[in-house]
């Protein structure tokens, strides 16, 4: 079962400029910053209530976010729902006939476990489910 919305992912060209907007101008506290080599991104997590905004800057043009920026430009990239048990949730979504990008969870930011559902399965919205690490 999906819990709250954990974060909204935003694709950005350049992290320092994005932090000037989201942290300094909007005033969201920076909670975490991490390079996730496996996903080819420099990621920043900013707090907003119990949820987050996740800024994603590509490590190179041939990464998923780099390709996304070339196709679509900067902007909203994905919506992420928090789940308590990502393995059970993946089974449930697969059973519901949704096309998955990740058949098994991978490691996300801040030691979370994440998996993506194909945007074609959900009306064009790239959707992530995330099982946060203990304490988050
Ligand atoms: Co995300």
- Is pLDDT above 80 for 129? yes
- Is pLDDT above 90 for 9? yes
Q: CA of 82: how far to CAs of 4, 56, 64, 130, in Å?
A: 6, 18, 22, 5
What would the pLDDT profile of 13-61 be if each residue is shown by its tens digit?
999 999 999 999 999 999 999 998 888 999 999 999 999 999 999 999 9
Task: Return the pLDDT at 106.
Answer: 92
CA 88 / ligand 1 centre spacing (Å): 19
Domain range 5-131, its CATH number among 3.10.180.10, 3.30.70.20, 3.40.50.720, 3.30.750.24:
3.10.180.10
CA 97 / ligand 1 centre spacing (Å): 22
Task: Return the pLDDT at 136.
Answer: 78
CA 103 / ligand 1 centre spacing (Å): 16
- Is pLDDT above 80 for 135? no
CA atoms 68, 79, 30, 133: torsion sign: negative
Pick the closest to residue 83 from 129, 119, 32, 23 (CA basis).
129
Residues 87 and 4: their CA atoms lie apart, in Å, by 17
CA 53 / ligand 1 centre spacing (Å): 9
The whole-number average pLDDT for the span 1-24 is: 96
Task: Return the pLDDT at 37.
Answer: 87
What would the pLDDT profile of 82-108 be if each residue is shown by its tens digit?
999 999 999 999 999 999 999 999 988
């Amino acid at each position: 079962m999906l819990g709250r919305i954990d974060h909204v992912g935003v694709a950005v060209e350049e992290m320092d400029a994005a932090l000037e907007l989201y942290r300094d101008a909007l005033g969201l506290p920076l909670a975490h910053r991490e390079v996730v080599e496996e996903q080819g991104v420099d990621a920043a997590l900013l707090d907003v209530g119990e949820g987050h905004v996740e800024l994603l800057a590509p490590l190179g043009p041939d990464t998923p976010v780099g390709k996304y920026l070339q196709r679509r430009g900067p902007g909203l990239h994905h919506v992420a729902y928090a789940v308590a048990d990502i393995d059970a949730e993946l089974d449930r979504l697969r059973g519901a006939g949704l096309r998955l990008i990740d058949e098994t969870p991978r490691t996300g930011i801040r030691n979370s476990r994440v998996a993506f559902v194909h945007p074609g399965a959900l009306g064009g919205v790239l959707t992530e489910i995330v099982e946060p690490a203990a304490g988050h």
